[in-house]
Amino acid sequence: MNKINTTLTALAAGLALVSSVAIAKGPGAGSAPYEVYASDQSNSVAGAAGRGVSGSYMHVWKGEDVEKQISSHGKDIAPVTTYDINDIFPGDELVETGTGSTLEELHNAGEAFGRLHGMLPDPQQKYMNINMFVTGGLAGGYVGIIDGATKKAVALFQVTKTGHGRSLHMSFWNHDGSALLLANLHGRVLERINIDRDTDGNITGANYDLSASVNVGSNPVIVDPASAFNGAGMVPSGVTGSYAIADMGLTTPAGDARQGAERPANVIVCPIVTSTGNVYITMGGGGLLVADGNATPMNIVAEYDRETVNGAGCGGLEVDGNVFLNAGASAAGSGATQSTMTIYGIDDAAIAAGNGGKNLPAPTVLFKDATNTATIGNTSGAASNGTGQLPGITTRRDAHGMAKTLDGRYIHQADRLQNVVEVVDTKTMQHVGSYDLTSANGQGKGTGPCAAFSVTDDAGLPGNDPAPDLMGTTPDGKHLVVATRGPIPVSVGHNAQGSCPGVGVIKLNNKGDSGKLITVLRTYNSVDDAPANAPGGHAYTGNEHSDPHGASVRIRVEDAK
């Protein structure tokens, strides 16, 4: 099998190393300049057909301003620069290769461009990926790249539409920035964009490699092929390869159905990529497939049934040859009565050495809440939990989002229903404790800052409800940043209603095995007027529509010279 053409040169790799060294200096050691991103799923256009279907906002704060807000105990509010995703990717200017249609024309035809679900920096800290996760009949399935320094568009693609459909949930950079791995959730296919760079690590080209694709569903018929868009200032982009070369098979190496009894609903949630090139493909209905992300086509090298790795996990990290994954409640309507908080560890080095198989190597269960429901693969516990999502009433749990300390010693796993964070020691492979995001000290004493930053235009909305989601780590190692959801959740509405939309800043203790929420970088959106819906929560009647799902940190390498 052919390996992808890695065009990163030694100098570009060196730049990534410099960035890593800047991060690794640790607390108080001349940390690199950085900026914090919030991916706001709400509409940036009034009168939209529904929540998260037309545009989105990207909010950015400079690290020095974040530090000022922290030191002033929230009195010196950090200025934010807010970008409309429709301005970064102007629909009337971007033209799809092949058809000649503009992005705007496709949008008007029912392929919506909206719901900025998350953003991640590349290893060189020069670029951010853009993941537009519109679902349902309007799903367009768009993934983009922007320049971190200028915030201008670099590339944009539309993912493949299969017999299952298409949507782009998230994408993840591989370890050297030579590829983006795409979670085509409704298409049920893992796809790849190959990235070309010059000697300074700048992206010079991006190509959607059809030959690299690997099917995980049961209906891999190609309905509409992937496509690239081009526009002023963007790098040359295109579509290469052939679906005829791709792995569109229906069975695993063990001879089981890729989607079947052992993995019944293979909507791809998050493809977690390791330094070995392995891609851990988590599934909404439970089960896990691991693919060799370097190969063309990507091929399955390990497989797990839903009872071994439960479903709907979106959170994963690699530390010292091990991969840490979570399992959480489903985003589908059935998730409204599910409760899932589980953390797994898997030996990635063993799989890279060719020792992957059916349920091998066996995952280590590092944390599993005793109240997990018997859903999405879990075989113990109550059949359902109908306590809704109101804070102080619900007993449900939902793992989503994960971060690690700079030295990798501790994994922090957020629970967006209980507003707590579970912590795992990656050396001992043990759960070492938890802390809350609602008290002043993280251990139940005093009132946390979300209360002061909560929405106030509906007295019935419970305050001090962060609803933590995706997380990142600051380059000084002192803080984690975490997306805090809004009162009108665009995605997973039955689990994610919150009161202080924005980005929460968590201060870690000296060891990194605990923390506390110390401030919130608030976000706002009163342009969106789509109707509210939060099943099991409060029927919010106010005007705040901001709903960040992702928080991430990029080192400003352009300012670190």
Query: What's the pLDDT score for residue 310?
Result: 99
Q: How far, in Å, CA of 449 to CA of 439, rounded?
A: 8
CA-to-CA separations, 145 to 48, 180, 207, 219, 451, in angstroms, rounded: 25, 10, 12, 29, 35
pLDDT, tens digit (0-9, with 9 covering 90-100), for 342-366: 999 999 999 999 999 999 999 999 9
Q: How far, in Å, CA of 328 to CA of 456, rounded?
A: 30
Lowest-pLDDT choice from 16-20, 174-178, 223-227, 466-470:
16-20
* pLDDT > 70? residue 107: yes
CATH of the domain at 292: 2.130.10.10
* pLDDT > 60? residue 514: yes
Amino acid occupying residue 72: S
Q: What is the mean pLDDT of the chain?
A: 95
Query: What's the pLDDT score for residue 376?
Result: 98
Query: What's the pLDDT score for residue 561?
Result: 72
Average pLDDT over residues 171-192: 99
What band does 170 get if pLDDT is binned at 50, 70 and 90?
very high
Residue-by-residue DSSP string for 261-323 = SSS----EEEEEE-TTSEEEEEETTS-EEEEETTEES-EEEEEE-TTTS-S----EEEETTEE
* pLDDT > 50? residue 503: yes
Query: What's the pLDDT score for residue 141?
Result: 98
pLDDT, tens digit (0-9, with 9 covering 90-100), for 54-77: 999 999 999 999 999 999 998 899
What band does 30 get if pLDDT is binned at 50, 70 and 90?
low
Average pLDDT over residues 274-287: 98
Per the structure, the count of domains in the chain is 1
Token pair in block for residue 473: 């780590």
Query: What's the pLDDT score for residue 23?
Result: 37
Containing domain of residue 351, as a range? 2-559
What band does 306 get if pLDDT is binned at 50, 70 and 90?
very high
* pLDDT > 60? residue 245: yes
Q: How far, in Å, CA of 493 to CA of 501, rounded?
A: 14
Higher pLDDT, 14 or 389: 389
Strand order in the sheet with 316-319: 316-319, 322-327, 342-347, 364-368
